[in-house]
Structure 1
């Protein structure tokens, strides 16, 4: 699994699209935005929105884990903007099978991209910036300020055969969740 984490507009989806072209084996791109897009377009009461969003993220994590559990290669496109999201992924995913990729972009470029897209609240990426990378541990990092999505995808592809052991997910799981028992419910080989 290639797990791309970065702010909104950082370039995760563009890198994922390129990865599907450059990786040798078949991969599925599972973006969190697709799960949000599947939700009804009806207005959600402001008091209910947070619960609806949290259930969406929890379901997304379990869908990713389910796809991986039966042997699918996955490119995950996510915004780990709250600590519980990272903790949930650490608990659900087999950490030795996750290549954790930090996708960075300068604040100036994020603002430019948000404005050009026009489909995100202004300043969303800037508000996410500190929280998304707060855990500080990745296997590999890309900066899309100057590197193209194709360059980032090629770099990730070249890195996959020499991924570290323990992986960033293994180190983070030990650090944040403690030692893993031999068999954890919800974890897949």
Structure 2
């Protein structure tokens, strides 16, 4: 078995720029790495069966999907792969699950922020998100209050944000946001 991989967890609302930053990170990462996004896992789910679920059934399916996503990331890192994780920590259990599962790995928790008016503009431009989704997530996603690094995509390019993140990667280790958040739990 190889050494464990590193995890860069990009946490932000829908339309905040996580995916664009992740793609830029992949282009610049010095070794092979993987971008794993919760949206990609959601896209793999059978659509007809999901549409037929009542609200409690849908909520449980989404919870299982997200819990599975966390385990996919942990499995890839355990196999020695560096992972750029694109996620929305909008429910406290998601962060708690990651704090526990990612204990063996170096994690860089990156808060991806964007001004509310720009989030709304991006949602309208995308056309594939329900308007107001990002605004509803804004306070929830960053409620934990501690990141290793925060980038603001309101006026900064994905390339600029990726460069800042890459500069922080060599310093990954403890103490970090994950160790501080674990100590608070």
Structure 2 counterpart of 1:44, from 49, 52, 68: 52
| 1:58 equivalenced with 2:36 (yes/no) | no
What secondary structure sits across from 2:151 in the alignment?
A: strand
| 1:6 equivalenced with 2:15 (yes/no) | no
Two-structure CA RMSD over aligned residues (Å): 1.1
Structure 1 counterpart of 2:181, from 165, 172, 183: 172
Q: Which structure 1 segments of 5+ residues have no match?
A: 177-189
2:131 counterpart residue number: 122
Cα distance in structure 2, aligned partners of 1:96 and 1:140: 17
Q: Which structure 2 segments of 5+ residues have no match?
A: 1-6
What secondary structure sits across from 1:99 in the alignment?
A: strand
CA shift, 1:60, in A, is: 0.5
What secondary structure sits across from 1:3 in the alignment?
A: strand
Equivalent residues of 1:101, 1:141 under 8 A apart:
yes
Cα distance in structure 2, aligned partners of 1:3 and 1:98: 7
Cα distance in structure 2, aligned partners of 1:38 and 1:163: 32
Normalised to the residue count of structure 2, the TM-score between the two structures is: 0.92
Normalised to the residue count of structure 1, the TM-score between the two structures is: 0.90
Cα distance in structure 2, aligned partners of 1:95 and 1:141: 23
What is the total number of aligned residue pairs between the two structures? 176
Cα distance in structure 1, aligned partners of 2:97 and 2:174: 21
